Amino acid sequence: MSEIPETGTSLDRRRLLGRTAAAGLLAVPGVSLLSGCLGSGDDDKPDQAEGSKSDTNPLGVKEDAELEVVIFNGGLGTKYATDVHIPSYKKSFPKANVKFSQAEEISTVVQPRFAGGNPPDVVNNAGSKLMDMGALVAEGQAADLTDLFDAPSLDVSGQKVKDTLLPGTIEQGTFNGKPYVVQYAYTTFGLWYDSELFKKNSWTPPKTWADFTALLDKIKGAGMTPYAYAGANAAYYQYLVILTSAAKIGGADVLKNIDNLEPNAWKNDAVKKAAEAWAAIGAKYMNKANLGQRHTEVQLQQNQSQIAFYPSGSWLENEQAKNTPPTFKYAVTPLPSVTTSDKLPSTAIYAAAGEMYFASAKGKNVNGGKEYLRHMLSKAGARGFTELTKVATVVKGAADGLNISPGFASADEMTKAAGENVFSFRWDSWYKKLDDECRAATNELMFNGGTADKFCDRMQKVADEVKNDSSIQKFKR
């Protein structure tokens, strides 16, 4: 959750994990979420290209209809689109012109086009300035993908697209019972470090909180910053860490209750304990200068052996490829257990389908947009993506046999060790207001002496405001 931040070298996990929020898309009573320029119903749709359905064209793509694709230029880059997915689409529809562009600020570039009624056909909605997906769904801007998932796989004989995907993939892009988004990148999240540096210093990734703080003391004594994240634009890395610890302490339902806006979900004892534990890390082991720095600045410091642990998703290695010295070998470890009575084991991880892609319901080539997503979800399309980005996809077995890099191998080992103890949340991509508040509350907690009580109270207050605001569409899982 293709990840994250707003420059061309960034990735929004892409939430992974679909996380972070769009600027200016929060619901205001009586005002359309997309600038009030849109109506609803078929009258708002332009003339849309329609072709004849067949075994080789199950979605009815008009063979010579132009297709426009906009991809977020972040940590994943755009080469996977230009070198893998577009050529695959063109092979099936050689008469079609595919118009491609990239954007570092998706909402800035694309949002006005949705408001103006001329959206691109396929959008990779990611980055720190992604569009509010809940708002797009509420406005009828995202196409229902039910027929895509029911269509035959492009290259897995005898299976529908939905049969080729990892469990939970379709649900991750479902809003109130209908699928509107392909969450494509399978992102694992943990604490990243340089395995060569750790080996040199005989440092062992911790499994318990006592081992964690003892190791951070050693690292601090060696003159390094033990733990860091970028406060300027990557606070959601850290709030994901806090809530991962909360899920380990109290079980995955802690996150489900937050998603569903249950009463006092943010005040759950597990959330408070997690916030207390991480606030102590911020007070003792972090560099306050990182508050004003961006993710790329802090990640570069880790590549330069100034920082030991950095929380991130599995896009990190690819994002830093140009700045990683040959002696630096990425590895990732799960967050350590916070208490001796955690409900989930230390191997449990946050992992989810992320990096949002959708077809525009009011684009000129809706069927082509869905077909493009079918090519992305082919085994060949997914494998090509992984080879170029070092990030796995939601297509089963697409990365089998690939030995791409140390970080990719480490993330794969961590995922296998987690087994069924994998969890995620959805509230951050459902409710922009909560995401904005949690970033600010997290920075206060980690950098500015905030307390766990204040963090929990602050988040619960805003969660209640969202719940009671009839202008904001609610989602449930």
Residue-wise pLDDT for 65-77, tens only, equals: 999 999 999 878 9
The owner of tokens 């029911």 is: 150
Q: What angle do CA 37, 42, 44 make, to 5 degrees?
A: 25
Residue 116 phi, psi dihedral angles, 5° rounding:
-85, -5
Cα 418 to the chain's mean position, in Å?
19
How confident is the model over 3-27, as pLDDT tens digits?
Answer: 333 333 333 333 333 333 222 222 3
390-442: pLDDT as tens digits? 889 999 999 988 888 999 999 989 998 998 899 999 999 889 899 999 999 99
pLDDT at residue 128, rounded to an integer: 74
Distance of CA 186 to the CA centre of its chain: 9
Q: Which residue has the higher pLDDT, 3 or 448?
A: 448
The CATH 3.40.190.10 portion of the chain extends over 14-186+351-412, 188-349+428-468
List the single range of 27-31, 120-124, 180-184 with lowest mean pLDDT.
27-31
| 344 neighbors 248 (Cβ within 8 angstroms) | yes
Joined tokens for residue 364: 């000129």
Q: 14-186+351-412 maps to which CATH number?
A: 3.40.190.10
**Cα–Cα distance between 206 and 284 in angstroms, integer?**
18
Helix (H) or strand (E) holding 383: helix 379-389
Q: What are residue 191's DSSP bridge partners?
A: 311, 333
Alpha-carbon gap, residue 74 to 356, rounded angstroms: 13
Average pLDDT of span 244-259: 98
Whether residue 37 is predicted with pLDDT greater than 50 in this model: the reply is: no
- Angle formed at CA 383 by CA 371 and CA 379, multiple of 5 degrees: 50
188-349+428-468 classified as CATH 3.40.190.10: yes
For range 135-163, the mean pLDDT: 96
Give the mean model confidence (pLDDT) for residues 324-341: 98
Q: What interhelical angle do 432-447 and 452-468 show, nearest 10?
A: 170
Per-residue pLDDT reduced to its tens digit, 45-64: 557 889 899 999 999 999 99
The band of 38, judged by pLDDT with boundaries at 50, 70 and 90, is very low
Q: Chain-wide mean pLDDT for the chain?
A: 90
pLDDT at 451 over 50: yes
Q: How far apart are CA 460 and CA 58, in angstroms?
A: 47
- Quote the percentage of the chain above a pLDDT of 70: 90
Is the Cβ–Cβ distance between 133 and 360 less than 8 Å?
no
Decide: 396 and 164 in contact? Cβ < 8 Å: yes
| The total number of residues written for the chain in this structure | 477
What is the token pair recorded at 48? 């849309």
Residue 317's nearest CA partner among 390, 385, 388, 383 is 390
Closest CA to 89 of 74, 78, 100: 100
Greater confidence (135 vs 181) lies with 181
Nearest to 142 by CA among 15, 254, 33, 23: 33
Using alpha carbons, select from 21, 9, 15, 16 the residue that is nearest to residue 439: 21
pLDDT at position 197: 98
Tens digit of each residue's pLDDT (9 = 90 or more) over 200-223: 999 999 999 999 999 999 999 999
By the 8 A CB rule, do 127 and 10 touch? Answer: yes
Q: By C-alpha distance, which of 334, 302, 341 is closest to 206?
A: 334
Tell me: pLDDT of 352 over 70: yes
**Exposed, middle or buried by CB within 10 Å (0-12, 13-18, 19+), for 297?**
middle
Which pLDDT score is estimated for 45?
53
Contacts of 393 (CB under 8 A, 6+ apart): 184, 185, 186, 382, 385, 386, 399
Record the tokens describing residue 71, joined without a space: 């991809």
Are 119 and 363 in contact by the 8 Å Cβ rule? The answer is yes
Question: What is the rounded distance in angstroms from the CA atom of residue 346 to the CA atom of residue 332?
Answer: 13
Strands (DSSP E) along 285-348, which ranges?
Answer: 307-313, 330-333
Report the alpha-carbon distance of residue 123 to residue 102 in Å, rounded. 10
Residue 170 has pLDDT above 80, yes or no: yes
Mean pLDDT within 148-164:
97
pLDDT at res. 75 = 79
Output the pTM of the full model: 0.78
In contact, 20 and 435? CB cutoff 8 Å = yes
